[in-house]
Structure 1
């Protein structure tokens, strides 16, 4: 049974808009996790996370989706070291491996991983407000 998609909050979207690099965890056919740094954007029209890159279709993360579409995606950073303030958004859900998609930035291939959020865990985002 598929879980229902969830909508990201305004604070979560505002934070994601300040970041360009996240980490995508997929599962390979032997059920071993694989985690990769990835470029992304929030797709406001669809409420999804879109992941693109150079030669994405040849990557393990893209191929992993053929056997298991469950993913976890994390974006985090340190808003402050003194005091220690961590900001984080973790999105769990299902992903599609799409081909023939117009890239949103130069140098990207025509493949895209589109994450449909089913669960969002976030903290420390109060720091995003006002800059």
Structure 2
């Protein structure tokens, strides 16, 4: 599935492409293909620990989604089609894979709210 969609003939990857590939490798592993040597190759393309951790998070996210999807479908091809389109793009945004849950839960990923201060979200301890 992965080889058919992406191929393994590449020399350089952008961070976005690496996250997409790692997500797809995770999906392939979740449907029974096992951990691929391609994942190690993708991770080695980036010297920084931060980029490698993003790739590993994307892999884990893809694998988790595939394992959850196998509850609804038994056919690995069907699970693959549910999670990855023909171009190799995850059907759901891999942002969850690229950012840890603690960060995505914070307001850093949301745009600032507009309006007077009374309409802003404040912790209950700051309200009268």
Taking structure 1 as the reference length, the TM-score comes to 0.25
User: Which structure has more strand as a fraction of its residues?
Assistant: 1
Determine which structure has more spread, i.e. the larger CA radius of gyration.
2
